[in-house]
Structure 1
Amino acid sequence: MSAFASLSHRQQGLLLTAGGALIMAPDALLIKVANLPDAEILMWRGFLSALGFFLIALMRHGNGIWGVYRRCGWTGIAVALLFSLTTCGFVLGNQYTKAGNVLMILAGAPLIAAALSWVVLKERLPRRTWIAIWLCLAGIAMIALDDAGAGSWVGNAFALMAATTLAINFTLCRTRPGIDMSPMLVFNGIIVGSVAGLFWLAGGEPSLPATNQLAVVVLLCLIIVPCGVTLLQRGPLYLPAAEVGLLLLLEVVVGTLLAWWIISEQPAPMALVGGALVLGTLTVKGLYERRLELRLRAGAGAALQQRAEGADTV
């Protein structure tokens, strides 16, 4: 048995989702570093990520890949369309406003996901999850407070679209428990790349980006995005949608720190306090729930042992 398989269902979900969030942390930064026009960055991101998603699906499923696509059905098509809107919203948001604004608005996804899960899936969230969501959102607000007056309403609107469609996407995945929707992200890339490519061709004389820009685009779109998003897309198979969204806040904090380090977007002292609040909240919540899980497993084990002893005495 592999180390991953030996983990509990919840632990697997936490590992997949947190890993995906950390891999995706440089996303906003690298979009800024690439510094390409809207249609061009979306075209490269679409086609290259589609190739990356397909290679990952092929490695995971081999000859059974076509059966995986059939199992996703119409829900999978909806997931691909929704993630296309998320991709466009996130990339265009970073094109028109500061990365901190986009990440702060994207942090609203847990609240949207929680509301949708409550309404659509009738999921009851424990009080500690709601408290953690509000504490994390307060921390994210502190992180981006120094950017509050610098954002464009166009960029903020695109970021809100990304947050909303991401929350709907995760909630929709929860309606098909046990079905991995991540292979459908190939079609998300094809949709985004094709539409953006038409705008790129119509915009004048298309040309390849400079070598350094192309290197950044390949790293981001062929490697980081497919690997990170595949892990994130599998999160709802293991965790409630709101908790998947909550772990996405790791991307916000780490992404802000990377922007500070690489391109000198130094956050205000209040932003540092906000980052500590987010990480501290996630750490405390994780440790507390780990203790609860161990206690429940110990109780279940004791109950089984008592039943076995009772059966032996009969």
Structure 2
Amino acid sequence: MSRLSALSYRQQGVLLTGGGALIMAPDALLIKVADLPDAEILMWRGFLSALGFFLIALIRHGRGILAAYRRCGWTGIAVALLFSLTTCGFVLGNQYTKAGNVLMILAGSPLIAAGLSRVILKERLPRRTWLAIWLCMAGIAMIVVDDVGAGSWVGNAFALMAATTLALNFTLCRTRPGADMSPMLVFNGVIVGGGAGLVWLAGGAPSLPAAHQLTVVILLCLVIVPCGVTLLQRGPLYLPAAEVGLLLLLEVVVGTLLAWWIIAEQPAPMALVGGTLVLGTLFAKGLYERRLELRLRAGAGPALQDSAEQRAG
């Protein structure tokens, strides 16, 4: 038995989703560092990430890759289209406003996912999850409070599109329990890359990025995005959509701190308080649920033993 399969269902979900969020943390920063035009960065991100997603799917499924795609069905096509909109919204949002603004708006995805899950799936979240969502939202607001006034309405609108489609994507995945939708991300890359490539070619004489820009793009689009998003896309197999979005806030906090660190800006005291609030809330929630899970297991043990003795008798 692998170490991952030895963990509980919830623990696997937290590990996969949290790991994906941390891998994706430099995303907004590297988009800024690449400093490429809209269509060009989207084209590279689309095609390179499609290659990365396909290689991951091939490694995971081998000869069964076609069966993995068939299992996704029409829901998988909808997931690919939604994630295409998420990609465009996130990248263009970072092109037109500060990374902090985009990340703050993306932090609203847990609330959107919670609302969608309640309406579409009739999922009722525990009060502790709602409390954690609101505490994390308060912490995120503290982190980027100084950036809000400097943002562009265009960039903010793109970021809101990304948050909404991401929440809808996670909720839609929950309608097909047990079906892994991550292989469909290949088509997301092809859709984004193809559309952006046509715009890029129509815009004049295309040329390759400079060497340092190409290095950043390859690292981001061929390695970070495929690995991080694949883990995030598997989150709804194990956790409610709102909790996947809640763990996504790790990307928001770490990504914002990375942006500050790389551009040598000192975080304001309120930002440090906000980051501590988010991370502390996620840690406390995880610790509480771990203790609750152990308590339930301990209570279930004697019950299972009594049942076995009754059957034996």
For the aligned pair, the TM-score class normalised by the smaller chain equals over 0.9
* Aligned-partner residue type, residue 42 of structure 1: L
Q: What is the CA distance between 1:305 and its match in structure 2?
A: 1.5
Q: What is the CA distance between 1:189 and its match in structure 2?
A: 0.2
Unaligned runs of 5+ in 1: none
Please name the residue that 2:239 is paired with: 239
Change (3 A) 1:265 1:154: farther
Output the CA distance in 1 between the equivalents of 2:53 and 2:262.
28
Please name the residue that 1:305 is paired with: 305
Output the CA distance in 1 between the equivalents of 2:67 and 2:4.
25
Please name the residue that 1:151 is paired with: 151
Does the Cα contact within 8 Å between 1:23 and 1:224 map onto a contact in 2? yes
Please name the residue that 1:226 is paired with: 226
Please name the residue that 1:207 is paired with: 207
Please name the residue that 2:103 is paired with: 103
Please name the residue that 1:113 is paired with: 113
* Aligned-partner residue type, residue 219 of structure 2: L
Q: What is the CA distance between 1:261 and its match in structure 2?
A: 1.3
Q: What does 1:12-31 correspond to in 2, within 5 Å? A: 12-31=12-31
Does the Cα contact within 8 Å between 1:146 and 1:267 map onto a contact in 2? no
Output the CA distance in 2 between the equivalents of 1:156 and 1:90.
10
User: 1:74-128: per-residue Cα shift (whole Å, max 9, x none)?
Assistant: 1000000000000000000000000000000000000000000000000010000
Output the CA distance in 2 between the equivalents of 1:4 and 1:26.
25
Question: Percent identity, aligned pairs only?
Answer: 86
Q: What is the CA distance between 1:260 and its match in structure 2?
A: 1.4
Please name the residue that 1:262 is paired with: 262
Does the Cα contact within 8 Å between 1:96 and 1:155 map onto a contact in 2? yes
Q: What is the CA distance between 1:71 and its match in structure 2?
A: 1.1
Does the Cα contact within 8 Å between 1:140 and 1:278 map onto a contact in 2? yes
Output the CA distance in 1 between the equivalents of 2:80 and 2:166.
11
Change (3 A) 1:272 1:37: same
Output the CA distance in 2 between the equivalents of 1:309 and 1:197.
67
1:288 and 2:288 matched? yes
Output the CA distance in 2 between the equivalents of 1:91 and 1:223.
17
Q: TM-score, normalised by structure 2?
A: 0.99
Q: What is the CA distance between 1:300 and its match in structure 2?
A: 0.9
Please name the residue that 1:172 is paired with: 172
Q: What is the CA distance between 1:161 and its match in structure 2?
A: 0.1
The DSSP-based 3-state class of the residue aligned with 1:92 is: helix
Output the CA distance in 1 between the equivalents of 2:115 and 2:303.
36
Q: What is the CA distance between 1:203 and its match in structure 2?
A: 1.0
For these two proteins, the number of residue pairs brought into alignment is 313
Q: What is the CA distance between 1:311 and its match in structure 2?
A: 4.3
Q: TM-score, normalised by structure 1?
A: 0.98
* Aligned-partner residue type, residue 276 of structure 1: T
User: 1:185-219: per-residue Cα shift (whole Å, max 9, x none)?
Assistant: 00000000000001111111100000000000000
Please name the residue that 1:5 is paired with: 5
* Aligned-partner residue type, residue 23 of structure 2: I
Q: What is the CA distance between 1:269 and its match in structure 2?
A: 1.3
Q: What does 1:51-200 correspond to in 2, within 5 Å? A: 51-200=51-200
The DSSP-based 3-state class of the residue aligned with 1:77 is: helix
User: 1:32-81: per-residue Cα shift (whole Å, max 9, x none)?
Assistant: 00000000000000000000000000000001101111111110000000
The DSSP-based 3-state class of the residue aligned with 2:3 is: coil
